[in-house]
Structure 1
Amino acid sequence: MRILVTGGAGFIGSEYVRMLLGVPGGNAAGVPALEPSGVTVLDALTYSGNRANLAPVAGDSRLRFVHGDICDAALVDEVLPGHDVIVHFAAESHVDRSIAGAAPFVTTNVLGTQTLLDAALRHGVGRFVHVSTDEVYGSIDTGSWTETWPLAPNSPYSASKAGSDLLALAYHRTHGMDVVVTRCSNNYGPYQFPEKVIPLFVTNLLDGGTVPLYGDGGNVRDWLHVHDHCRGIALVQQRGRAGEVYNIGGGTELTNKELTGRLLESCGAGWERVVPVADRKGHDRRYSLDITKINEELGYVPSIDLEHGLAATVRWYRENRQWWEPLKAGGKAAVVA
């Protein structure tokens, strides 16, 4: 089996590649036995893409890296033949950047996905796994979203992802393509670009700096370790039903203020290091995914609890300054959360 991973040098995509290539037999820690004969990473290496994320598997003979944009139809046509599966991570994904300028989000997330779908249709790719986000559902005061919940995105980022979800599902319904869609809650873990809240806060605190907390800090998120997310994607790739959507969550909800408290404690810092900032425009109040479907159909259960996962993540950033310091020193990490 040959797998094309778009955005495979990014945070979540590189975890998937490391999981595919770094686990002997492909069946450790609950990872399905996918056992690829080859993995091609297609990544444009924009600000958050980083070849260093693939360093642990760089010597694997099954890995091929292609530097390029998913919107480049000619390149996609050149790379795609011979692949059995596409796992599509490539996306612009930071809400604050989408508020400042939506065009790159529409271009990459919508047009890029359409370019891949067209190429997959031309070349007869067996399965197209489209990786999306819980943000397409909007905000929910009580309860949790099931996969049939109406889409109501509130940011340019989430609107562009909702558009790409609908395109992917339309190719299944129109052309009979073997498409599956996953929607995840907030990810955390090693190799996450330091503009997202956890690595931003941790690296700022490790450097003796302050951290910005939006509004009253009462926005609620469900936290999912990146390895559990990729385990869920692997299950969907292997056994998910064509044309279906699968929610992948972590099962632990925290307010941003509660999360900040945990990060302060992990880094040995106090609340004097927290600077309240004006709330984000259109800030969704609460996200919560119902994961009954993926649990009952595919056996997915989160394996990394937040207490241990967060401690390991803080330790990774503490021990891997050589990875994140150049990103922050080069001005590539925006000081937003």
Structure 2
Amino acid sequence: MPRRPVLITGGCGFIGTHLAGRIAASGTPVVVADLAPWTGGPGVRAVRLDVADAGACRDLLRSARPSVVYHLAAAATVDTAHADPAAALRSTIGGTMAVLEAALAVGGVRFVLASTDKVYGELTTAAYTEDSPLAARGVYDVGKLSADAVTRLYGADLGLPVAVLRLCNVFGPGDPHTASRVVPRSLSRIFDPAGPLPPVLYTGSLHHSRDYVFVDDAVRALVALGTDERAAGGVFNMAASAHRTTRALVAEIVARSSAACRAGDPELAAAIAATGYTVAPGPPVPALTRQHCDAALLRSRLGFRPTVPLGAGLDRTIAAVMAARGLVAAPSNGATRGYRRAART
């Protein structure tokens, strides 16, 4: 008998594309459901779906009969959610309810939710644990908190096999959100086709601190929650590869981008190193100041640890951007190199 497929809602997004590719490479059939077109690799069947359409969700799950649903569909960023709250909440909350109901009706489905560390709100202790109070604020954060809570309700009270992963900031090749997320936004300016531009930092976020994890490790954790019986019913904080202030992260992105160009184009490398960063008023949308997760539960119960250090992940992301621009990156040994802090402009 062929294996039952895996369904990924929001599967055409940044994390979803990486997740679908990894699962398809293992030989498991993959169905991605999204309003966006599929632009990833082979072995994936793409279905156009509005996750807030309960009837369409029910029909899809009845026809696909997935063994696992990875529910990634939601408002993509804080900025897009803030710009259109009604659409964001419809997608994030209404979509989660519709897919949960469909999974419950079909039966035999494990539901894995990609949640966020933003459900905890402002950090007031050393780190969030899974038992920390949930105090989200803002459209994006409250939408994700609601989806998180509803998923746990369907697991605890209605008997649906569920697991929740509260992701930190995920970065890596292929992230299209160059207007809002710090890594792709910075790289889009550093490798602007017209010449290097300084990444933009906002006055209010210079000292914001966040956990960061490379997309391959986030995908590994999602797969573990969908396949490991020890994850059933669990809520897990994502394990980060590093914790950085926004300013320190951008300085490292500039330095590593320059280093990647040094062998092939010393002039470009010098121009990138000279960009530093520029500071603008903002941010345009209120943001949390400090976020940091304790991921001891993910480690103790599932034996999970990140395998890609921050530096190696940045090098791989930079190489992908350079390849898309027709540039050749210097090979990286995967080690976290030392770097000189870029000048501020």
**TM (normalized to structure 2)?**
0.83
One-letter amino acid of the counterpart of residue 40, structure 1: V
Name the SS of the counterpart of 2:98 in structure 1: helix
Question: Is this contact kept in 1: 2:212–2:240, CA < 8 A?
Answer: yes
Quote the offset at 1:64 in angstroms. Answer: 1.3
Picking from 296, 303, 309, the partner of 1:305 is 309
Percent of aligned positions that are identical: 28
Question: Is this contact kept in 2: 1:154–1:282, CA < 8 A?
Answer: no
The answer for the alignment partner of 2:264 in structure 1 is none
Distance 2:18 2:307 in 1: 16
Quote the offset at 1:167 in angstroms. Answer: 0.6
Name the SS of the counterpart of 1:267 in structure 2: helix
The answer for the alignment partner of 2:322 in structure 1 is 318
Distance 2:169 2:277 in 1: 24
Question: Is this contact kept in 2: 1:5–1:40, CA < 8 A?
Answer: yes
After superposition, the CA RMSD in angstroms is: 1.7
One-letter amino acid of the counterpart of residue 303, structure 1: T
The answer for the alignment partner of 2:33 in structure 1 is 42
Quote the offset at 1:189 in angstroms. Answer: 0.3
Picking from 105, 121, 129, the partner of 1:122 is 105
Question: Is this contact kept in 2: 1:172–1:242, CA < 8 A?
Answer: no
The answer for the alignment partner of 2:221 in structure 1 is 232
The answer for the alignment partner of 1:223 in structure 2 is 212
The answer for the alignment partner of 2:338 in structure 1 is none
One-letter amino acid of the counterpart of residue 39, structure 1: V
The alignment of Structure 1 onto Structure 2 pairs a total of residues equal to: 300
Cα shift readout 1:78-113 (whole Å, capped 9, x = no counterpart):
211221211101111311222222112110000000
Question: Is this contact kept in 2: 1:186–1:224, CA < 8 A?
Answer: yes
Quote the offset at 1:280 in angstroms. Answer: 4.2
The answer for the alignment partner of 1:282 in structure 2 is 286
Matches within 5 A, 1:1-337: 1-22=4-25, 26=26, 36=28, 38-45=29-36, 51-52=38-39, 54=40, 57-58=41-42, 60=43, 63-81=44-62, 82-193=65-176, 194-195=178-179, 196-207=181-192, 208-216=196-204, 217-239=206-228, 240-268=230-258, 269=272, 270-321=274-325
**TM (normalized to structure 1)?**
0.85
- Note closer, same or farther for the CA distance 1:20–1:272 as it changes in structure 2 (3 Å cut): closer
Name the SS of the counterpart of 2:51 in structure 1: coil
One-letter amino acid of the counterpart of residue 118, structure 2: E
Structure 2 gap segments, 5+ residues each: 259-271, 327-345
Name the SS of the counterpart of 1:51 in structure 2: coil
Cα shift readout 1:213-238 (whole Å, capped 9, x = no counterpart):
12250000111001101101111111
Quote the offset at 1:272 in angstroms. Answer: 4.9
The structure that has the greater radius of gyration is 2
Question: Is this contact kept in 2: 1:202–1:314, CA < 8 A?
Answer: yes
Structure 1 gap segments, 5+ residues each: 27-34, 323-337
Distance 1:291 1:267 in 2: 30
Distance 1:9 1:119 in 2: 20
With CA pairs under 8 Å and 6+ residues apart, which has the higher RCO, 1 or 2?
A: 1
Cα shift readout 1:306-326 (whole Å, capped 9, x = no counterpart):
01110110111111249xxxx
Distance 1:97 1:319 in 2: 28
Distance 1:179 1:161 in 2: 16
Distance 1:259 1:271 in 2: 15
Quote the offset at 1:17 in angstroms. Answer: 0.6
Quote the offset at 1:154 in angstroms. Answer: 1.9
Distance 1:119 1:272 in 2: 50
Distance 1:272 1:84 in 2: 48
Quote the offset at 1:266 in angstroms. Answer: 2.4
Quote the offset at 1:211 in angstroms. Answer: 2.5
Of residues 253-262 and 210-219 in structure 1, the stretch that sits farther from structure 2 once superposed is 210-219
Distance 1:114 1:273 in 2: 42
Quote the offset at 1:130 in angstroms. Answer: 0.8
Distance 1:17 1:263 in 2: 27
The answer for the alignment partner of 1:29 in structure 2 is none
One-letter amino acid of the counterpart of residue 300, structure 2: E
- Note closer, same or farther for the CA distance 1:144–1:251 as it changes in structure 2 (3 Å cut): farther
Question: Is this contact kept in 2: 1:220–1:256, CA < 8 A?
Answer: yes
Name the SS of the counterpart of 2:157 in structure 1: helix
